[in-house]
Copies of this chain bind each other. A is one copy, B any other.
């Protein structure tokens, strides 16, 4: 299995994509409309936000994916098309436009929107942009598509993974956008994944739910569960493997490749969390159950006091113990060990739930790095989990203090 950092949704065979500025956003430098299409019909699956307030695009996508088939994705940034009286109509109209320009059925289109909630979306710029968007579709269009779905993201998120099924070269590629309103327990943010593997919609859904539970759902930027989060996957089968229809060996290989893609994207999303200067990972080991490990890891990652300490490169391990203590998990706090790890090394700061002497200088050196792992050993069992987050900074406050203007 090989990760290609320059890959994306057009890395698998038979996919084309593009992104343009159509005018939803005022800034003409910023692309705001993307299109992704497969040359053949795909098996497809998606997972969505668990927020009761959910975007109109999700309503339409859910309906269109009922038959497990899709062929294209259209998505805009700038406006979330959520909490608008005419939202579903507009989301449907976006599917209709994509279908018309691509010559496919509107019910084969996945639609997404990301941006401000509660402002009506104007279809006119989308209509006007469709020709250029469609004309520019290309097998090199993944970057343009990835750029068109960015909101406060500072870097484009995309990746692909190459592997083999039945001796045939196969790929999974993805693009995604963050970077605020990101919190576990849902399919976080927007992520579109493509593959040329041949796999049934049912197994695709199963693989996606599993992959998301270990990646997107273990990510938190700010604890806000967004209204529009969607992770959708399209599989066009062009790699030519024997169709995966049960949990056989090829399914396992596919799952591992899908996880590699999700994991890579999630690390990018965490690192580019709004205002973030650091990727913060919490590895919890020695838990009685995986659920306990997950709960503990997420609690540490979500704590504003841990996040600000990471921003300040402050080895304030007491806040980590505090976050473990209020996680609501069945743990014995008097057994817990805590270490900090980065490229600069590892330092143990707490053993058996109490502080130990350590070099503040060494700790500072480790914590000044831009990728920090908080290693927690509960010494209470065999289960483990990893959660992904970032530090909390002045910039987060600045970005979100006046987002709409």
A116 contact set on B, CB distance < 8 A? 316, 318
Q: Which of A143-151, A202-210, A394-402 contacts B (4 or more CB under 8 A)?
A: A394-402
Instruction: Flag A164-186 by CB within 8 Å of B: 1 or 0 each.
Output: 00000000000000001101000
Q: A26 an interface residue at 8 Å Cβ cutoff?
A: no
Q: A111 an interface residue at 8 Å Cβ cutoff?
A: no
A404–B118 CB distance below 8 A:
no
Q: Which of A5-13, A45-53, A280-288 contacts B (4 or more CB under 8 A)?
A: A45-53
Q: Could you tell me the dominant secondary structure of chain A's interface residues? A: loop
Name A227's contact: one of B54, B84, B325, B394 (CB within 8 Å): B325
Question: With A and B bound together, what is the CA distance between A371 and B357 in angstroms?
Answer: 45
Q: Which range contains the number of A residues in contact with the other chain?
A: 35 or more
A51–B322 CB distance below 8 A:
yes
A313 contact set on B, CB distance < 8 A? 402
Q: A15 an interface residue at 8 Å Cβ cutoff?
A: no
Name A311's closest neighbour in chain B (CB-CB).
B401
A118 contact set on B, CB distance < 8 A? 317-318, 321, 350, 354-355
Q: Which of A59-67, A90-98, A134-142, A297-305 contacts B (4 or more CB under 8 A)?
A: A297-305
Name A306's closest neighbour in chain B (CB-CB).
B224
Question: With A and B bound together, what is the CA distance between A400 and B321 in angstroms?
Answer: 16
Question: With A and B bound together, what is the CA distance between A322 and B313 in angstroms?
Answer: 32
Q: A25 an interface residue at 8 Å Cβ cutoff?
A: no
Question: With A and B bound together, what is the CA distance between A399 and B394 in angstroms?
Answer: 11
Residues of A307-324 whose CB lies within 8 A of B = 308-309, 311-314, 316-319, 321-324
B314–A405 CB distance below 8 A:
yes
A85 contact set on B, CB distance < 8 A? 354
Cβ of A179 to closest chain B Cβ, rounded Å: 12
A303 contact set on B, CB distance < 8 A? 223-224
A227 contact set on B, CB distance < 8 A? 318, 321-322, 325
B403–A354 CB distance below 8 A:
no
Name A304's contact: one of B321, B398, B400 (CB within 8 Å): B400
Q: 21 A–B contact pairs at CB < 8 A? A: A50-B326, A51-B322, A51-B326, A52-B331, A83-B353, A116-B316, A117-B319, A117-B321, A118-B355, A181-B305, A222-B304, A223-B304, A224-B323, A225-B325, A227-B321, A304-B304, A308-B399, A309-B400, A314-B402, A316-B403, A394-B397
Q: Which 4 A-B pairs have the closest CB atoms?
A: A117-B318, A53-B325, A312-B401, A308-B400
